[in-house]
Amino acid sequence: MEKTHTSDGLPRKATDLITHRLEPDVGQVRGAASILAILLCMMVGPCLPVVGVGLACTETYRVAGTALLAAVAASGFFGSHSPKWSAFYLKAAGWFRRGVYMHVDRGALAQMRAHRSMWCMHPHGTSIGFGFSLNGAVRFRAEDDARYCGAELAENLDDARKRSCDGVMAPVLFRIPLLRQALLGFGCCTPATKQGMFSLFRKNLDFGILPGGMEEVALYSQNRDRVFIRKRAGFIKYALQHGYNLQPAFTFGESDIYASLRHPLYRRLCLFTLKHAGFVIPVFWGPRWYCPLLPRDDVALHTVIAHPVKLPKIEQPTADDVAHWHGRYVAALQAIYDDHKARFGYGHRELDLQ
């Protein structure tokens, strides 16, 4: 088939991928501000209750400490969707000088229109998970399709579905002051509990998920594409029970933007905290000594959303049913990687399936 180019100069076949670059006209200063806003919520939020207790135990600052603790407690009852906040965060794409792209297989659009889907994003990466957050539901919840989705994709997806799509994230994140409000402000964040996911199924909503979860954060190693999937099959069972398609997606570049601590003791600590507390404490840094929270800016992020894995509806799937469709899903994920890695400059790598 004759080769053409996208508007961003990326080579592709004429009917291959629908490509949209996120916020190409936003500068790095605004991009850095958006990234730092989320990361600071992640870092400062857990400290607020500790600071409040410390102040409340002193005679001089007892009133201030009590007020801070009251504010932290009250924050658990507040948080609502703001399209402007979603748009502010999407400006994080401006930090990446080589761009943040979402690529959707054009041939998959008919299935996407006809069936509800669970968008399964890989890899998690460390810290935020930029592929999931910048190329997922937040784009649609900013409510400006022309800017954040592109005309072709926006015209092929139902408006009501775009405005109601959701995503599931680690439950512990919703217990962190400031971060909880930031997530709820996106309008598409639900705790990744069985109850939370089933509420989305009952509402018949499309939603995104990071199947690798915190285990994938613990596995992160810069310049290695690693996913935790071989022992992760619960999402397959849920999708079978509700007749959802699985929409596999992979973000090239996610594994390159931060360095991380790889000491064996740190890995054991991650596994310990994950088992007993449900989270890991990622230790990561970017290349700038004066602001290590910022990732590399010379890496492009390319999220490829391929053909869905069409599942039957089986209300009581057997272990064999789950194993069969899990195998089909893993094969589809491997195919995305193998089919597109050379296009984005990763032809020398292999996908490490853990």
**pLDDT, mean of residues 148-167:** 86
* Mean pLDDT, rounded, of the chain: 88
Question: Over the stretch 298-309, which tens digit does the pLDDT of each residue have?
Answer: 999 999 998 899
Classify residue 122 by its DSSP letter. E
Q: What is the pTM of this model?
A: 0.90
**pLDDT, mean of residues 323-342:** 95
- Supply 57's token pair: 């135990």
Percentage of the chain surpassing pLDDT 70?
96
Question: Over the stretch 262-287, which tens digit does the pLDDT of each residue have?
Answer: 878 887 888 788 877 777 888 899 99
Which is nearest to 218 in space by CA: 326, 121, 333, 354?
354
Strand boundaries in 57-185, DSSP class E: 100-105, 117-122, 166-169
Pairwise pLDDT comparison (206 vs 270), residue with the higher score: 206
Strand boundaries in the chain, DSSP class E: 3-5, 11-13, 17-21, 100-105, 117-122, 166-169, 190-191, 207-209, 226-227, 245-252, 259-260, 284-285, 301-305, 352-353
Per-residue confidence (pLDDT) for residue 3, from 0 to 100: 43
**pLDDT, mean of residues 324-345:** 94
C-alpha 128/C-alpha 39 separation (Å) is 7
C-alpha 51/C-alpha 65 separation (Å) is 7
50 pLDDT band (50/70/90 cuts)?
confident
